[in-house]
């Protein structure tokens, strides 16, 4: 009898460079399954992406004579039921690194071993296993630069990506949920119009995006990655989060491109951003409380302000600071925000408004299509000053100067805040400084069609500095 292996898909929605799938295909018949358990309580934008990514995965498997089973429920229970239905003798999956996912994997392995079923998990979502990287003292790294330098010394262990495996055609169909039953897509209202215009989930689209980035944008990446009006970044983050493309594929393709073009500076800069993702997961593995507790325990007692009106203004892009508002409106419309602007809006929330970083992280979790528990938690804590290798408390992004530096002509602001589009460049990032005639000519009425600033930058900055200094000295 041909061996049968259940392959549990999770955050690895691809056929190429999928170790669990490769090794299962070598054994015999593959029975792929995706189980909707929503253990991480996904946000709306992530659910939208997951729906379309599963559609793409289903289609890819169907072309190869294999059918993806969709089931809803507790993972251990569903796998146990499926084992009885298909008489499989093994279950393979690729490891995930979020705390609840680790618990799920451990529970599944224990249950399978108790049933004498072969259970194997594989590395597929990271370049380096978090438990394999340690400093000279044998502890985990708490600063990115030495962490990444150490990782680079181990880069020969990364290896080459796997090709798509050859499958033994499935001879049997099993009960399968209809994807629509899971209600991952928004209905009334359907707010996903902007997502549909900009994004195409799936493995094929991920590789097209990578090729386009390497061929057309990598060379200028070190300079243009900070310009929000320019499509200078890779736009690979949601594909990477859902495993439509692997970090090893990104590494391999970038290194090959570097060897072919000699563009080492750009390649190293791009791969260091992949390194920040590795560092975020590394921190999350060693500090599972990272999404809910400050890495620096002293910050548990920081006197964050509670201000629902200010939070709402920030969420809706109505703070009166054009660069902040443009970023928040881009997020609301497209499920995405330029990385430079993410830092600026996060600094504004935690420093200008002194609101708890967890409120910002929760909003990003619900609205970002690349919402990633590790990146989201580590990055918000970095900006707030309470994380590992954190931005110093006195670093407060000035949204006016940041706009003048990285969006000097106001192209980004004009795109997302059309009510300010006719303002002269000199006032596009500080409309309150324009005289009445200039505002009237541009069709801007502050307090009506665009808000006055909800805080004064200088006053808010000084208040934040005082709060952090007092807290630091307590």
Catalytic positions are: 273, 276, 304, 339, 357, 380
The span from the CA of 102 to the CA of 69, in Å, is: 22
Residue pointed to by tokens 């881009």: 330
- Within a 10 A sphere around the Cβ of 466, how many other Cβ atoms? 10
| Chain-centroid distance, C-alpha 218 | 20
Residue pointed to by tokens 């307590």: 474
Cis, peptide link before residue 398, omega less than 30° from 0: no
Maximum Cα interatomic distance, the chain, rounded to a whole number of Å? 84
Tokens of 131: 């438990």
Q: Say which DSSP state 474 is in.
A: -
DSSP letter for each residue of 157-174: GS-PPPPPPP-BPP----
Q: 98 and 40 in contact (C-beta within 8 Å)?
A: yes
Q: Is 28 exposed, middle or buried (0-12, 13-18, 19+ CB in 10 A)?
A: middle
- Strand (E) or helix (H) holding 378: helix 373-384
Q: 374 and 284 in contact (C-beta within 8 Å)?
A: yes
Cis, peptide link before residue 189, omega less than 30° from 0: yes
Are β-strands 69-72 and 29-36 bridged in parallel, bridged antiparallel, or unpaired? parallel
Are β-strands 90-94 and 118-122 bridged in parallel, bridged antiparallel, or unpaired? parallel
Collapse the DSSP code of 268 into the 3-class scheme (helix H, G, I; strand E, B; otherwise coil) and give the result: helix
The span from the CA of 314 to the CA of 337, in Å, is: 14
| Chain-centroid distance, C-alpha 355 | 22
């Amino acid at each position: 009898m041909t061996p049968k292996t259940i392959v549990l898909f999770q955050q690895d929605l691809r056929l190429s460079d999928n170790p669990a799938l490769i090794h299962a295909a070598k054994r015999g018949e593959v029975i792929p399954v995706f189980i909707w358990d929503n253990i991480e309580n996904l946000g709306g934008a992530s659910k939208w992406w997951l729906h379309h990514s599963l559609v793409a995965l289903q289609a890819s498997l169907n072309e190869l004579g294999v059918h993806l089973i969709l089931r809803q429920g507790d993972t251990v229970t569903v796998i146990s039921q499926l084992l009885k239905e298909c008489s499989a003798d093994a279950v393979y999956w690729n490891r995930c690194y979020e705390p609840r996912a680790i618990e799920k994997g451990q529970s599944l392995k224990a249950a399978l071993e108790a049933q004498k079923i072969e259970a194997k998990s594989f590395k597929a979502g990271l370049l380096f296993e978090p438990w394999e990287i340690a400093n000279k003292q044998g502890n985990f790294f708490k600063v990115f630069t030495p962490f990444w330098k150490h990782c680079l010394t181990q880069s020969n262990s990364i290896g080459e990506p796997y090709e798509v495996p050859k499958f033994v055609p499935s001879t049997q169909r099993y009960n399968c949920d209809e994807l629509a039953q899971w209600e991952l897509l928004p209905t009334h209202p359907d707010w996903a119009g902007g997502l549909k215009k900009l994004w195409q989930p799936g493995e094929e689209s991920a590789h097209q995006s990578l090729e386009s980035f390497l061929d057309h944008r990598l060379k200028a990446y070190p300079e243009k990655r900070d310009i929000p009006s320019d499509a200078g970044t890779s736009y690979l983050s949601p594909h990477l989060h859902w495993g439509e493309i692997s970090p090893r594929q990104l590494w391999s393709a970038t290194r090959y491109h570097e060897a072919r073009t000699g563009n080492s500076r750009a390649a190293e800069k791009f791969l260091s951003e992949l390194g920040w993702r590795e560092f975020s997961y590394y921190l999350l593995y060693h500090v599972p409380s990272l999404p809910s507790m400050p890495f620096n325990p002293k910050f548990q007692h920081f006197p964050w302000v509670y201000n629902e009106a200010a939070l709402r203004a920030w969420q809706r892009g109505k703070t009166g600071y054009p660069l902040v508002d443009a970023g928040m409106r881009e997020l609301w419309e497209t499920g995405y925000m330029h990385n430079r602007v993410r830092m600026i809006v996060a600094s504004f929330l935690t420093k200008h408004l002194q609101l708890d970083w967890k409120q910002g992280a929760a909003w990003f979790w619900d609205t970002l299509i690349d919402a990633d528990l590790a990146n989201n938690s580590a990055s918000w804590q970095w900006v707030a000053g309470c994380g590992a290798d954190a931005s110093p408390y006195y670093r407060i992004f000035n949204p006016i100067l940041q706009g003048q530096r990285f969006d000097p002509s106001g192209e980004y602001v004009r795109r997302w805040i059309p009510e300010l589009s006719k303002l002269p460049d000199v006032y596009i990032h500080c409309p309150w400084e324009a005289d009445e005639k200039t505002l009237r000519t541009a069709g801007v009425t502050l307090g009506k069609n665009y808000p006055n600033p909800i805080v004064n930058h200088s006053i808010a900055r000084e208040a934040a500095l005082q709060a952090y200094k007092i807290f630091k000295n307590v």
